[in-house]
Amino acid sequence: MMPLSFYNTASRRKEVFTLPKGDNTVKMYACGPTVYHFAHIGNLRTYLFEDLLHRTLKYYGYGLNHVVNITDVGHLTSDQDEGEDKMEKGAARTGKTVWEVAAFYTQAFMEDWKRLNIQEPTTWSRATDFIPEQIKLVQILEEKGFTYRTSDGIYFDSLKFPRYADFAKLDIENLRKGSRIDMGEKHAATDFALWKFSPKDTKRAMEWDSPWGVGFPGWHVECSAMAMKLLGETIDIHCGGTDHIRVHHTNEIAQSECATGKPFARFWMHGEFLRMGTSGGKMSKSTGEFLTLSLLMEKGFNPLDYRLFALTSHYRNYLNFTWEALESAKESLKSLHKKTDPLIGKATAIISAEALQWQAEFKEAIGDDLNIPRALGILNSVLKTDIPEGEKATLVLDFDSVFGLKLNEEREDIAPKSDVSVEEIEVLIHARTAARASKNWKESDRIRDELSARGIEIKDGPNGTTWSYK
């Protein structure tokens, strides 16, 4: 059997994955969502890849400490530390407070995870819950001489980290030459904000005291600070989408390794992008041109149709989204169910040498840098063999612990719980908040009743209104 191996972005090759001696728990950190808007199905593709990684590590018998962060502060609209805070922009767009925006989209995000049958991480870490840790990290970098101050913040001095360009294989000369004009007070284009001061003329909704003045942390700092606090100074696997390689992960490495003097992550794994249509357009949250899981459901798809669609391509390849391709994933899942539904409840504890052989092939496929498309092929082959039904049932259950397609439930059992889309819930809750503000209790009750009749319960709390399925 080939050993478990993953493609490591840091070395640009496949490497055997093992843990340091005496350790059996993988410390894994995945960059999570910025909760100023719904997650689009591209974001969800990345979380699905990370879910396959999570499930594969468990299949290989590892314990797992999996942290996913929720970015609820500091992610600016431009990677150059300029522009607005995405959260504050989200608040302006929806007329809510930043805290309400964060609470609402965090909940919507978690709902998508459940619908897609993505395993819960060990810890969800919210950036705003780790402000002291972020300040501490900046202090360490300051003491070690890696920072400087400008009129708008404290910056990381990337010239002091000679390996800065290595991870993303950046053409540093050209990069630094090319962007001299829009650098502001930064010493080099690759320098980045660790702490930003609140603008003098406007009061930010989210700001904290710090040794440098009132402000908020830069986006990159949160991941380093939380990963180190929750998992340790050197973690085993760090993952995210490929867009994070050039800036976000490069910066995480620079600040973490300068602070500790140790490697930050042993393996870096990145999921390739989902693109729109056969022409491969960009799906972007910031321009508002994106598809959500709820929209797919409104059009009659089961979230697991999308899960299977994502599983059919390797995580390191681009995947083009088309409605036709999703339709064909839906048909494939239906036909898979036709074969697996009759096997439900028939699994046997002991399986033959032939079944064990199929199991070994499956394990080898997923262990070969998560070759899920090959593993799906193995499942289809198993279903075509004439091994006894009970053994087939055992293999289906076993393989599905990685696929996560809920093949042990009849497809009819996994219909959406309500006909109201998450987008519609948002509009209705917003309208109700406005009705309450103008003391229009009749209208606010009407909205509550409408939601209730359609299977949605709402609760008013200190951070705004939350909802759940009844």
Task: Check binding of 219 to ligand AMP (CB under 6 A).
Answer: no
Which one, 244 or 432, has the nearer CB to ligand AMP?
A: 244
| Minimum distance, C-beta of residue 76 to ligand AMP, in the bound complex (Å) | 12
Which of ligand AMP, Zn ion, none lies near 34, with the C-beta cut-off 5 to 8 A by kind? ligand AMP
Phi, psi of 455 (to 5 degrees): 90, 15
Question: What span, in angstroms and rounded, lies between the C-alpha atoms of 230 and 289?
Answer: 35
Task: Check binding of 215 to ligand AMP (CB under 6 A).
Answer: no
Question: What span, in angstroms and rounded, lies between the C-alpha atoms of 328 and 285?
Answer: 26
| Minimum distance, C-beta of residue 29 to Zn ion, in the bound complex (Å) | 8
Which of ligand AMP, Zn ion, none lies near 223, with the C-beta cut-off 5 to 8 A by kind? Zn ion
Whether 239 and 28 have beta carbons less than 8 Å apart is answered as yes
Q: Which residues contact 284 (CB under 8 A, 6 or more apart)?
A: 40, 290
Choices 40-48, 76-84, 298-306, 347-355; region in contact with ligand AMP by CB under 6 A: 40-48
What SS3 class is residue 274?
Answer: strand
Instruction: Looking at 232-315, list the stretches that DSSP marks H as alpha helix, in order from N- to C-terminal side.
Output: 250-260, 293-298, 303-311
Which of Zn ion, ligand AMP, none lies near 446, with the C-beta cut-off 5 to 8 A by kind? none
Question: Considering only residues 58, 229, 285, 436, which one is a binding residue for ligand AMP as defined by CB under 6 A?
Answer: 285
Q: Which residues contact 295 (CB under 8 A, 6 or more apart)?
A: 421, 423
| Minimum distance, C-beta of residue 46 to ligand AMP, in the bound complex (Å) | 4
Tokens 């490697």 belong to which residue? 263
Which of ligand AMP, Zn ion, none lies near 273, with the C-beta cut-off 5 to 8 A by kind? ligand AMP
| Minimum distance, C-beta of residue 463 to ligand AMP, in the bound complex (Å) | 20
Question: What span, in angstroms and rounded, lies between the C-alpha atoms of 306 and 325?
Answer: 10
Which one, 252 or 305, has the nearer CB to Zn ion?
A: 252
Quote the strand ranges of 311-429, DSSP E: 319-321
Question: What span, in angstroms and rounded, lies between the C-alpha atoms of 324 and 321?
Answer: 9
By CB under 6 A, the residues from 131 to 150 that bind ligand AMP are: none
Where along the sequence are the contacts to Zn ion (CB under 5 A)?
Answer: 31, 223
Which one, 223 or 333, has the nearer CB to Zn ion?
A: 223
Helix, strand and coil percent figures for the chain, each rounded to 5: 45, 20, 35
The token pair that represents 269 in the structure block: 């794994």
Which of ligand AMP, Zn ion, none lies near 218, with the C-beta cut-off 5 to 8 A by kind? none
State the Rg of the chain over Cα.
24
Beta partners for 125?
69
Question: Taking the C-alpha atoms of 26, 49, 88 and 190 in order, what is their torsion angle to the nearest 10 degrees?
Answer: 70
Which one, 255 or 444, has the nearer CB to ligand AMP?
A: 255
Question: What span, in angstroms and rounded, lies between the C-alpha atoms of 163 and 187?
Answer: 17
Choices 43-51, 111-119, 428-436, 461-469; region in contact with ligand AMP by CB under 6 A: 43-51
Which one, 90 or 271, has the nearer CB to ligand AMP?
A: 271
Which of ligand AMP, Zn ion, none lies near 8, with the C-beta cut-off 5 to 8 A by kind? none
Question: Considering only residues 66, 244, 266, 448, which one is a binding residue for ligand AMP as defined by CB under 6 A?
Answer: 244
Q: Which residues contact 282 (CB under 8 A, 6 or more apart)?
A: 273, 275, 276
Question: Considering only residues 8, 9, 34, 340, which one is a binding residue for ligand AMP as defined by CB under 6 A?
Answer: 34
Q: Which residue is nearest to ligand AMP (CB)?
A: 241
Question: Considering only residues 240, 303, 367, 404, which one is a binding residue for ligand AMP as defined by CB under 6 A?
Answer: 240
Question: Considering only residues 273, 315, 362, 403, which one is a binding residue for ligand AMP as defined by CB under 6 A?
Answer: 273
**Residues 336-375 vs ligand AMP: string with x where CB under 6 A?**
----------------------------------------
Which one, 31 or 351, has the nearer CB to Zn ion?
A: 31
Which one, 223 or 422, has the nearer CB to Zn ion?
A: 223
Question: What span, in angstroms and rounded, lies between the C-alpha atoms of 336 and 325?
Answer: 16
Cα–Cα distances in angstroms (integers) from residue 204 to residues 96, 98, 104, 158, 209, in the given order: 14, 10, 19, 28, 12
Which one, 45 or 363, has the nearer CB to ligand AMP?
A: 45
Task: Check binding of 251 to ligand AMP (CB under 6 A).
Answer: no
Whether 172 and 179 have beta carbons less than 8 Å apart is answered as no
What SS3 class is residue 190?
Answer: coil
Question: What span, in angstroms and rounded, lies between the C-alpha atoms of 104 and 102?
Answer: 6
Task: Check binding of 31 to ligand AMP (CB under 6 A).
Answer: yes
Instruction: Looking at 179-302, list the stretches that DSSP marks H as alpha helix, in order from N- to C-terminal side.
Output: 219-231, 250-260, 293-298
Tokens 């990290």 belong to which residue? 137
Task: Check binding of 283 to ligand AMP (CB under 6 A).
Answer: yes
HSE-CB at 82 with a 13 A cutoff on CA atoms is: 8
| Minimum distance, C-beta of residue 312 to Zn ion, in the bound complex (Å) | 27
Task: Check binding of 42 to ligand AMP (CB under 6 A).
Answer: yes
Task: Check binding of 274 to ligand AMP (CB under 6 A).
Answer: yes
Task: Check binding of 74 to ligand AMP (CB under 6 A).
Answer: no
Binding site for ligand AMP (CB under 6 A): 31, 33-34, 42-43, 45-46, 240-241, 243-244, 271, 273-274, 283, 285
